[in-house]
Amino acid sequence: MKTTTALKTLLLKQELSFLMESHNALSARIAEESGFEGLWASGLSIAASMGLTDRNEASWTQILEVVDFMTDCTTVPVLLDGDTGFGNFNNVRRLVKKLSQRHVAGVCLEDKLFPKTNSFIGAGQPLADVQEFCGKIKAAKDSQLDDDFCVVARVEALVSGLPMEDALMRARAYADAGADAILIHSKQSDGEEVLSFCHQWERDIPIVIVPTKYYQIPTDRFEQLGVSTVIWANHSVRAAISAIRSITRSIRQNNSVAQIEQDIATLDDIFNLTSEYEHQKAEQKYLPA
């Protein structure tokens, strides 16, 4: 199955689907190996792994390069966090064309302004004009090279402190503009506003959520309310930071690696993850004996 079709199937199926954050090829490969059926190429996590803020400091072609390595070494679909589309409708057209060419299965576009700021920073952030954002969604849909490429429209109204009616109005407008799914985002830790949004959502198109702050709500509750897809948005890069910090500190304190050898991946693990052994077989096949 094409990865675009696989992502569309994940979004449309009755049961809850899960996308795991990946920020480079290695984390993508590990997420697939762990059984995830789809990946979230997180803007925050890719930027963090470059040592940059989540404010569009990295250019869109630098992001494209990272996501290209991710799709190259996996078979599951990748949904790219496309932020605000890196400009206006025209930048969106170019982005979607290049993503389609690189076998990225879909893009998520959020209704904020370029350069964006992470949703968990500061108070309310200015939102895009509804009609202008609808134009971006239409431009994205008109530019996809594959019929099943998915455009997820992300509603930031609740994050910006606007009332539920605004969030619903925006989501309906984005659905009308052709979005394949709506991502409703929230930074509240009790998850109530997302539950309430789902309760009031009357359209057929799928809802995607990112329970980074309201992680204590059992996923069953979202499934009961008809949520389609849950994104675990930053847990791979956060795991990497914790593990790297702990091991690095231990090496520094002990001037030795003996005490941590059992706690880290083996070299063989690296060779497996990077298909080293396949290369050895290929040498036998293609190099003169």
Q: Is 54 a catalytic residue?
A: yes
Footprint of Mg ion on this chain (CB under 5 A)?
43-44, 81
Question: Which of these ranges, 41-49, 70-78, 97-105, 172-180, lies near ligand SPV under the rule CB under 6 A?
Answer: 41-49
Residue 90: alpha-carbon gap to chain centroid: 22
Pick the closer one to Mg ion by CB: 105 or 148: 105
- Of 31, 107, 205, 233, the one binding ligand SPV (CB under 6 A) is 233
Site string for ligand SPV, 167-206 (x = CB under 6 A): ----------------------------------------
Minimum Å distance from CB 213 to ligand SPV?
A: 8
Rounded Cα gap, residues 282 and 91, in angstroms: 40
Minimum Å distance from CB 195 to Mg ion?
A: 22
In this structure, are strands 39-41 and 229-232 parallel, antiparallel, or unpaired?
unpaired
Rounded Cα gap, residues 225 and 237, in angstroms: 29
Q: From the list Mg ion, ligand SPV, none, pick the one residue 56 interacts with, judged by a Cβ distance below 5 to 8 Å according to partner type.
A: none
Pick the closer one to ligand SPV by CB: 183 or 205: 183
CB 227 within 8 A of CB 195: no
Q: 10 Å Cβ neighbour count for 85? A: 27
Pick the closer one to ligand SPV by CB: 20 or 139: 20
285 half-sphere exposure, CB direction, 13 A CA radius? 6
Pick the closer one to Mg ion by CB: 148 or 150: 150
- Of 44, 67, 194, 195, the one binding ligand SPV (CB under 6 A) is 44
Pick the closer one to Mg ion by CB: 43 or 211: 43
Pick the closer one to ligand SPV by CB: 120 or 271: 120
Minimum Å distance from CB 194 to ligand SPV?
A: 12
The DSSP 8-state label assigned to residue 126 in this structure reads P
27 belongs to the binding site for ligand SPV (CB under 6 A):
no
Minimum Å distance from CB 277 to ligand SPV?
A: 33
Residue 98 burial by Cβ neighbours in a 10 Å radius (0-12, 13-18, 19+): middle
Selected catalytic residue, list 54, 83, 111, 148: 54
- Provide the β-strand partners of residue 21: 40
Phi, psi of 144 (to 5 degrees): -65, 140
CB 17 within 8 A of CB 260: no
Rounded Cα gap, residues 64 and 274, in angstroms: 20
Question: Which of these ranges, 43-51, 129-137, 140-148, 268-276, lies near ligand SPV under the rule CB under 6 A?
Answer: 43-51
Note if the bond before 115 is cis, omega within 30 degrees: yes
Question: Which of these ranges, 37-45, 64-72, 170-178, 278-286, lies near ligand SPV under the rule CB under 6 A?
Answer: 37-45
210 belongs to the binding site for ligand SPV (CB under 6 A):
yes
CB 97 within 8 A of CB 143: yes
Return the active site residues: 54
Interacting residues toward ligand SPV by CB under 6 A: 42-45, 54, 81, 118-119, 210, 212, 233-234
